[in-house]
Amino acid sequence: MFQLTDQQQAEFHNDGFVVVDGLIDDGTIHRLRDAFERIFSGRFETGVRPDEVNWQVGESDPAKTRQICNGWKADLTIAGTSLRADIGEACAVLGDWPGARLQVDNSLWKPPGAGSIGMHQDCTYLPWLNPREMISCWIALDDTTADGGTMQLVRGSHRWKPSEELGEFHGPADHQALMRTAAVREGVDDPEIVPVVVKKGGGSFHHGWTWHGSAPNESPLHRRALVVHCISSDACFVPENIAVGTGPIYGRYRYQDSNRMDESFFPVLWSGNGERTRWLDAYA
Amino acid 86: pLDDT:
98
Q: What is the pLDDT of residue 170?
A: 82
Is 262 domain-assigned?
no
Tens-of-pLDDT digits for all 284 residues of the chain?
Answer: 899 999 999 999 999 999 999 999 999 999 999 999 999 999 999 999 999 999 899 899 888 899 999 999 999 999 999 999 999 999 999 999 999 999 999 999 999 999 999 999 999 999 999 999 999 999 999 999 999 999 999 999 999 999 888 878 888 889 999 999 999 999 999 999 999 999 999 999 999 999 999 999 999 999 999 999 999 999 999 999 999 999 999 999 999 999 999 999 999 999 999 999 999 999 98
pLDDT number for residue 217 = 94
pLDDT value at position 80? 98
**118 near 168, Cβ under 8 Å?**
yes
- Residue 172's pLDDT is 85
pLDDT at residue number 63: 83
Within a domain: 261: no
In a domain, 274, yes or no: no
Question: Has residue 47 been placed in a domain?
Answer: yes
Q: Which domain holds residue 78?
A: 6-254
In a domain, 143, yes or no: yes
- Indicate the residue type of 182: A
CATH number at residue 39: 2.60.120.620
The number of domains in the chain is 1
Supply the DSSP string of the chain, one letter for each residue: -----HHHHHHHHHHSEEEES-SS-HHHHHHHHHHHHHHTTT--TTSPPPSEE---TTTS-TTSPEEEE-GGGT-HHHHHHHT-HHHHHHHHHHHT-SEEEEEEEEEEEE-TT---EEEE-GGGG-TTEES---EEEEEESS---TTBT-EEEETTGGGSPPP------BS-SSTTHHHHHHHHHHT-SS--EEE----TT-EEEEETTS-EEE--B-SSS-EEEEEEEEEETT-EE-GGGTTSTTHHHHGGGS-TT--BPPTTTS-EEEETTS---TTHHHH-
| pLDDT at 167 (0 to 100) | 79
Residue 176 maps to a domain: yes
Q: Give the pLDDT confidence score for residue 206 in this predicted structure.
A: 98
In a domain, 56, yes or no: yes
- Give a yes or no: residue 226 inside a domain: yes
| Residue-level pLDDT at 136 | 98
Question: Using CA atoms, how far apart are residues 226 and 34, in angstroms rounded to an integer?
Answer: 13
Q: Tell me what pLDDT residue 173 has.
A: 86
Question: What pLDDT shows up at residue 46?
Answer: 97
pTM, whole model, 2 decimals?
0.96
